[in-house]
Structure 1
Amino acid sequence: MAEVAELRARNTQLGRALASRPVIDQARGMVMALAPCSSERAWDLLVDVSQRCNLKLRYVAAALVATTKGEVLPDQVQRELGRALRRLHTADRR
């Protein structure tokens, strides 16, 4: 019985991951255009912002994509995204 519950939980988690993937990829593309940087660096940047804000990556990505529809980026995400972009630019100059 515990195995069935574990498989159901894993199935739910995989379903969420598949559903959130397109918005994460859109946000990654936005970061690549803003920075500019590689896809991998954009991923790392989004993960960094997510961890520093203590928010799931899909929430950070959705907030960034929502700015294309006129929504305002939450203050904490905006701050951390700005810091992450500055760190990226500083690292690229070295």
Structure 2
Amino acid sequence: MRPSQRPGPRRDLVERPLPRAPRETARQVARPDGGMPTGEQLLAETQQLKEALERRPVVDMARGVLMAAWSCTADEGWEILVWVSQHSNTKVHDVAKALIATTQNEPLPAHIEEHLPAARVRWQASRDG
């Protein structure tokens, strides 16, 4: 009887477990400066991530307002919000909240109202150019 005719699994076809990738341990997850993050740092980072998740819908709604009002893309709406934020020295989230409030007949704060028209002119010039 030849080996290929023997009953049972062939040695070359037997499934072998794949080698495992080394698991990351806490010692391997280090900060850029070489140290380990402290509990306080991890807690602060977690809090920042929670705030970002809460603020994102507001920013997305403001992008939608700009998209509807000015017929811009979502990316262009983001760039407009960022530009106004940088030039008015206001957080993007606060610019977004103020813009959304205008849909409820609330006036824009003066420091944002100064820069929004300039952002529109800049956006239209980039679109036409």
Q: In which range does the TM-score fall when normalised by the shorter chain?
A: over 0.9
TM superposition score normalised by structure 2: 0.69
TM-score when normalising by structure 1: 0.93
Partner in structure 2 of residue 79 of structure 1: 114
Matched, 1:58 2:84: no
SS in 1 for 2:108: coil
Q: Which has the higher helix share?
A: 1
CA distance in 2, matches of 1:2, 1:56: 27
**Structure 1: gaps (5+ residues):** none
Identical pairs, percent: 40
**CA-based RMSD:** 1.4
Equivalenced residues, count: 94
2:61 matched to which residue of 1? Answer: 26
Q: Which has the higher contact order (CA 8 A, sep 6+)?
A: 1
One-letter code aligned to 2:109: P
Based on CA coordinates, which of the two structures has the bigger radius of gyration? 2
After the TM superposition, which segments of 4 or more aligned residues of structure 1 sit over 3 Å from their partners? none
Q: Distance in 2 between matches of 1:82 and 1:14?
A: 32
Q: 1:36 maps to what in 2?
A: 71
